[in-house]
């Protein structure tokens, strides 16, 4: 009997020349810490710093720069990134891990400038972010934030079945209802 497959085979995460792309953040999606990035949150940072002013790191380690961002922009779905791995032993290791399908997560490092917090639902809506870096990571806080080889379309790079996405509004409602139920006991 053949083994059961639960997930499709991963797409190649980096091109032969080290280029890759993907969504580092998706708007309206709750990450594993309860943060939801709102449209426009990156606008000021991108205007002031541009792609070259945001570092590319490995696992958020400031001692492990692994390349350069060629393009960072907000679109209707989130923060789209295009970058190139280059320049160090850490970069060579990251590229090898990406080619092997072992490293394809993207994660943002930032300082919160503006946010609305719903403490009852334990949700923080980030309205303005001072973006410092975007890291290549094995396990992103937003599971849908993934890298793909350069040249793949945005829909393919950020493609997640709608039913698999974490709906921030639904999670907030469930947390609120759970909190109310706990108070009535």
The answer to whether the beta carbons of residues 120 and 34 sit under 8 Å apart is no
Phi, psi of 166 (to 5 degrees): -85, 120
**Catalytic residue numbers, as ranges:** 60, 107, 133
Q: In sequence order, which ranges of the chain are alpha helices (DSSP H)?
A: 43-49, 89-99, 154-157, 168-183
Alpha carbons 24 and 144: distance in angstroms, whole number: 9
Alpha carbons 165 and 132: distance in angstroms, whole number: 26
CA angle 147, 152, 157 (to 5 degrees): 40
DSSP structural state of residue 41: T
DSSP structural state of residue 30: B
Alpha carbons 109 and 74: distance in angstroms, whole number: 16
């Amino acid at each position: 009997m053949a083994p059961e497959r639960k997930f499709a085979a991963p797409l190649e995460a980096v091109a032969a020349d080290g280029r890759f792309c993907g969504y580092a953040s998706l708007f309206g999606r709750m990450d594993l810490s309860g943060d939801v990035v709102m449209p426009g949150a990156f606008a000021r940072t991108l205007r002031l710093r541009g792609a070259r002013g945001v570092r590319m790191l490995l696992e958020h380690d400031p001692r492990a720069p692994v390349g350069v961002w060629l393009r960072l922009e907000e679109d209707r779905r989130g923060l789209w990134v295009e970058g190139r791995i280059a320049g160090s032993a850490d970069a060579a290791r990251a590229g090898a891990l990406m080619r092997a399908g072992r490293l394809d997560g993207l994660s943002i490092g930032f300082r919160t400038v503006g946010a609305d917090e719903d403490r009852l639902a334990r949700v923080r809506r980030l309205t303005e972010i001072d973006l410092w870096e975007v890291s290549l990571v094995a396990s992103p806080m937003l599971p849908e934030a993934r890298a793909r080889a350069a040249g793949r379309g945005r829909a393919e790079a950020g493609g997640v079945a709608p039913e698999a996405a974490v709906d921030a509004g639904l999670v907030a409602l469930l947390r609120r209802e759970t909190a109310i139920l706990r108070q009535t006991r």
